[in-house]
Amino acid sequence: MEGRFAGVAAADVYLRHFEAAVMPMQRRLPGPAHPVNARGRVTASADPAHLAGSLTKGPDFAAVLQRARPGRFRGLRLVPCRDIPLVLVISPR
């Protein structure tokens, strides 16, 4: 702005690098889970039913992000991630 640095608006990250950073944490969760973006695109997954890059259909993930508090949809827990525009989708055991 007016020649001064105002911040970063976006970052381009290879999915494989993101997945490598997130997978160790995901494996410590008590059940199947995968983070998705506002459109439902899976960004990383240890669950063979939801592969990275695939779409999770059903919930309005953009609305979950906008509300910024956990919700439920057909047995799934939907937990918005703080500070990043992703929703952690947690399946029942």
CA distance 23 to 25: 5
Distance CA 18, CA 1 (A): 30
Confidence (pLDDT) at 9: 62
Interstrand relation of 33-36 and 76-80 (parallel, antiparallel or unpaired): unpaired
Average pLDDT over residues 62-87: 94
CA dist., res. 24 & res. 19, Å (int)? 9
Give residue-wise pLDDT tens across range 23-69.
888 888 888 899 999 999 999 887 888 988 899 999 999 999 999 99
The pLDDT, as a whole number, for residue 16 is 77
Which run of H or of E encompasses 80? strand 76-80
What pLDDT is stored for residue 13 in this prediction? 72
